[in-house]
């Protein structure tokens, strides 16, 4: 009998109300420096330091700093006020959130609509970047604006806290202006000045994803597709036990495409992999799965979840997960992209190295937590749940699991009869030990 003690019921139209505002925090570097930077001599020292580092001219200082007296009277967030008004192109980080349902991925792609194209169009229209620089980046792959994203997202995949870095001209009304030009399913929630060497991808020390999925996907029987299904405590515990198998460093060459076992880049470190307690919405039960790691390969998360679903529904034994890390190629199903979203990106190393100087704020986006969570629920979760209830893509995908072998690679096209691979063996067709 199912135990409902771990359930919480959240009607879809009340999602916004479940988000509580985060505790207000003052970054230590602001608090420590505030009392120290209270006289004009210290302000002069900070200004001179910025001139040396960023190459600013003395006649531009009035545009960058309000006045010395204003700084001494300001609140503890003087770092933000110190760099809020830019007089020329600067390197910045943007906090970006979007629902990917209507787009063919984050990264630029000719002839289809992408998040990057929409963002750059808006930046160009508000004259934050030059039109020719946008064209060179989108068409000719010439990156004069130093544009970089923290993570790629596939077609239909969303992001609650994507970070991009680029050089642009911004004003104090930048966020308001850019959001007026963006569609409702794309928002820019934050802007921070960063060092010239900052790269949203290379400086990222970790990424966290969510996967929202109906609980019947993990039913112990292959013929269960009903939204009335409620996961039992026993099955929920098994689910988290299987997910924990992925934690640590493993060779995930079978969870992506185009990487052999010998490719060292197939080794990835998973920090945590867990399912949160289920909740109910419009008669369906959903589970939000959280995955965090240093970095992920294309399709990796969707295949990790796909394999656990196959184990839960009895298509393959539990030890298939550990055998998938061996050299032999395995046939692993890829879960639908609908439920996947980039949840957070982390810049721990960058923050420790560059954000104790009183000039740069840590890239944590903690001040935007409430409005980002609201967007995630109102736009991303709503879109995923609404699509699942209306079109049942998970049910359609579950019915394809019987077509996978799990323990060997299926040849997509026949080899020529006279073909011989290395040492006379056909490549990547051998079975996994079973």
Residue 341, C-beta contacts closer than 8 angstroms, at least 6 positions apart: 100, 157, 158, 159, 160, 209, 210, 211, 212, 376, 380, 384
Element (H, E) at 388: helix 382-391
382 annotated among ligand-binding-site residues: no
Residue 188, token pair as written in the block: 């820019």
* Structural contact between residues 369 and 283, judged by C-beta atoms closer than 8 angstroms: no
Question: Using CA atoms, how far apart are residues 318 and 148, in angstroms rounded to an integer?
Answer: 39
Backbone angles phi, psi at 178, to 5 degrees: -70, -35
Q: What is the three-class DSSP state of 2?
A: coil
* Structural contact between residues 204 and 151, judged by C-beta atoms closer than 8 angstroms: yes
Which among 154, 263, 331, 418 is annotated as catalytic?
A: 154
Which residues face 341 on adjacent strands? 158, 210
Task: Give a three-class secondary structure readout of 59-91.
Answer: HHHHHHCCCHHHHHHCCCCHHHHHCCCCCCCEE
* Structural contact between residues 138 and 120, judged by C-beta atoms closer than 8 angstroms: yes
Residue among 222, 226, 243, 240 at smallest CA distance from 285? 226
Question: Using CA atoms, how far apart are residues 115 and 374, in angstroms rounded to an integer?
Answer: 20
Rg (CA), the chain: 25
Residue located via tokens 């991303």 = 380
Q: Is 32 a catalytic residue?
A: no
Question: Using CA atoms, how far apart are residues 302 and 308, in angstroms rounded to an integer?
Answer: 10
* Structural contact between residues 96 and 164, judged by C-beta atoms closer than 8 angstroms: yes
Question: Using CA atoms, how far apart are residues 123 and 117, in angstroms rounded to an integer?
Answer: 10
Element (H, E) at 162: strand 158-168
Question: Using CA atoms, how far apart are residues 365 and 363, in angstroms rounded to an integer?
Answer: 6
Query: Among all residues, which ones are annotated catalytic?
Result: 154
- Binding-site sequence positions: 209
Annotated binding site for substrate: 209
């Amino acid at each position: 009998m199912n135990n409902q003690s771990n359930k919480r019921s959240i009607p879809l139209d009340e999602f916004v109300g479940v988000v509580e505002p985060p505790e207000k925090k003052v970054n230590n570097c602001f608090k420590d420096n505030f009392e120290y930077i209270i006289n004009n001599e210290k302000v002069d020292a900070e200004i001179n330091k910025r001139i040396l580092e960023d190459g600013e001219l003395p006649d531009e200082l009035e545009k960058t700093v309000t006045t010395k007296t204003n700084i001494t009277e300001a609140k503890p967030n003087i770092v933000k006020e110190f760099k809020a008004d830019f007089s020329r192109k600067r390197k910045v980080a943007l906090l970006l959130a979007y629902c990917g349902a209507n787009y063919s991925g984050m990264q630029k792609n000719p002839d289809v609509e992408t998040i990057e194209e929409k963002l750059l169009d808006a930046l160009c229209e508000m004259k934050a970047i030059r039109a020719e620089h946008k064209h060179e980046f989108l068409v000719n792959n010439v990156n004069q604006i130093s544009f970089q994203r923290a993570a790629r997202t596939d077609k239909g995949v969303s992001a609650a806290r994507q970070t991009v870095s680029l050089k642009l001209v911004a004003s104090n009304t930048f966020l308001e202006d850019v959001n007026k030009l963006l569609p409702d399913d794309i928002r820019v929630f934050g802007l921070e000045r960063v060092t010239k060497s900052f790269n949203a991808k290379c400086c990222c020390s970790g990424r966290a994803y969510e996967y929202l999925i109906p609980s019947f996907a993990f039913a112990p029987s292959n013929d269960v597709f009903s939204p009335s299904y409620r996961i039992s405590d026993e099955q929920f515990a098994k689910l988290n036990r299987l997910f924990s198998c992925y934690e640590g460093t493993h060779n995930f060459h079978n969870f992506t495409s185009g990487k052999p076992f010998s490719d060292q880049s197939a080794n990835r470190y998973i920090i945590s992999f867990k399912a949160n307690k289920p909740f109910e919405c419009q008669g369906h039960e959903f589970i939000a799965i959280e995955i965090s790691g240093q970095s992920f390969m294309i399709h990796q998360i969707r295949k990790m979840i796909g394999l656990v679903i196959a184990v839960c529904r009895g298509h393959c034994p539990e030890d298939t997960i550990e055998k998938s890390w061996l050299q032999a190629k395995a046939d692993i199903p890829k879960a639908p992209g609908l439920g996947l979203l980039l949840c957070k990106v982390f810049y721990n190393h960058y923050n420790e190295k560059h954000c104790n100087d009183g000039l740069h704020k840590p890239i944590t986006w903690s001040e935007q937590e409430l409005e980002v969570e609201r967007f995630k629920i109102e736009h991303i979760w709503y879109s995923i749940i609404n699509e699942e209830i209306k079109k049942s893509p998970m049910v359609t995908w579950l019915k394809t699991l019987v077509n996978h072998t799990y323990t060997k690679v299926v040849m997509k096209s026949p080899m020529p009869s006279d073909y011989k691979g290395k040492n006379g063996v056909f490549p990547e067709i051998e079975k996994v030990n079973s």
